[in-house]
């Protein structure tokens, strides 16, 4: 999430960034809500502070002066009763609009509407040619008896599969190979929770906007993760890290659950 001070300082840059990402967000309305909220919050906090000072000053005063101070306190309390309910909806709208603001893309990121606008940056190697008719991964997997789609579809629907025999062992070997590689680079391995609270999904920018892609356990108010990135990024949620503790390097492994998949 962008800091509101950055948005205040560079509203046009933030607007342009959202436009490049084809994301509709009303920055002007956000800034107006921010202005109203700050003004109201300042008034509320000043009234609270003044009421506290006046209340403390009541003790030890003469009756006439005490009554005058009590009247001031009551007046400030009534004013706060009017203002505080106005603050809650502004806080709510501010929080929602802040969550809709995308990060500003780097200047060298190419713009485009479809995959046809993708820019090829670099190539590695040459596409192989074979003196025989090649098979795709499904044909090879079934032929080698390492992949079973038919039984998976029967019990779980389309886009599911069984890995079996060497296929199951190959997946575990690839995961272990990747894990060993990251360990050599100083990363800490994490096996992560696969059900997380909304705070984790919001903090990693999957909510709001990605609710339709997430599998939800409504009774427990938890969501299945679409990537280990969510619990890995949220690992230090609500903590303050000192600069001396940085950098933190983690590598996570998990099953991933997405409706789009």
User: How does the average pLDDT of the chain come out, rounded?
Assistant: 92
Are residue 85 and residue 172 in the same domain, yes or no? no
Strands (E), the chain: 147-148, 162-163, 188-191, 195-196, 216-217, 222-224, 250-253
Lowest mean pLDDT among 51-60, 82-91, 228-237: 51-60
Task: Go through 9-31 and write b for each residue having 16 or more CB atoms within 10 A of its CB, e for each that does not.
Answer: eeeeebbebbeeeeeebebeebb
Residue 258 lies in a domain: yes
Domain with 181, as residue range(s), is: 123-185
- Domain assignment present for residue 107? The answer is no
| 144, 218: one domain | no
242 and 170: one domain? Answer: no
How confident is the model at residue 59, as a pLDDT? 66
Show which of 140, 158, 185 is a domain's final residue: 185
What's the residue count for the chain? 261
Do 165 and 221 share a domain, yes or no?
A: no
- Asked if 44 and 18 count as a contact pair (C-beta separation under 8 A), the reply is no
pLDDT at 111 over 70: yes
Question: Does 76 lie in the same domain as 127?
Answer: no
State the pLDDT at residue 64: 66
Residues 253 and 229 placed together within one structural domain of the fold:
yes
Nearest to 93 by CA among 18, 34, 24: 34
What pLDDT digit, counting tens, does each position of 157-205 carry?
988 999 999 999 999 999 999 999 999 999 999 999 999 999 999 999 8
Q: Please indicate, yes or no, if residue 117 is contained in any of the structural domains.
A: no
Predicted pLDDT at 61: 63
- Whether 113 maps to a domain, the answer reads no
pLDDT at 146 exceeding the cut of 80: yes
The reported pLDDT for the residue numbered 113 is: 86
Q: Are residues 191 and 248 in the same domain?
A: yes
φ, ψ of residue 113 to 5 degrees: the values are -100, -30
Last residue of a domain, one of 100, 132, 153: 100
Please state, for a pLDDT cut of 90, what percent of the chain lies above it: 76
- Residue 170 to residues 2, 167, 253, Cα–Cα distance (Å): 41, 5, 16
Same domain, 87 and 140: no
Q: Read off the CATH number of the domain in which 77 is found.
A: 1.10.287.40
3-state SS class at 23: coil
Closest CA to 94 of 52, 53, 135, 39: 39
Q: Phi then psi for 7, rounded to 5 degrees?
A: -65, -40
Domain count, the chain: 3
Q: In the predicted model, is pLDDT for residue 261 greater than 60? A: no
Rg (CA), the chain: 28
């Amino acid at each position: 999430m962008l800091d509101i001070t950055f948005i205040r300082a560079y509203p046009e840059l933030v607007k342009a960034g959202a436009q490049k990402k084809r994301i509709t967000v009303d920055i002007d309305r956000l800034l107006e809500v921010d202005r109203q909220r700050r003004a109201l919050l300042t008034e509320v906090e000043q009234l609270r502070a003044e009421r506290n000072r006046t209340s403390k000053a009541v003790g030890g005063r003469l009756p006439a002066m005490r009554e005058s101070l009590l009247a001031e306190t009551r007046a400030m309390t009534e004013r706060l009763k009017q203002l505080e309910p106005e603050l809650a909806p502004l806080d709510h709208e501010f929080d929602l609009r802040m969550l809709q603001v995308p990060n500003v893309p780097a200047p060298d990121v190419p713009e485009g509407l479809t995959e046809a606008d993708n820019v090829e940056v670099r190539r590695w190697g040459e596409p192989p040619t074979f003196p025989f008719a090649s098979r795709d991964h499904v044909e090879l997997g079934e032929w080698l008896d390492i992949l079973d789609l038919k039984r998976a579809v029967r019990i779980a629907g389309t886009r599911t599969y069984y890995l079996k025999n060497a296929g199951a062992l190959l997946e575990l070997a690839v995961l272990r190979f990747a894990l060993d590689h990251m360990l050599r680079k100083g990363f800490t391995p994490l096996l992560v929770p696969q059900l997380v609270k909304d705070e984790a999904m919001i903090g990693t920018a999957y909510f709001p906007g990605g609710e339709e892609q997430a599998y939800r356990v409504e009774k427990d108010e938890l969501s299945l993760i679409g990537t280990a990135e969510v619990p890995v990024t949220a690992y230090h949620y609500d903590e303050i890290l000192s600069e001396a503790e940085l950098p933190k390097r983690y590598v996570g492994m998990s099953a991933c659950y997405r409706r789009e998949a």
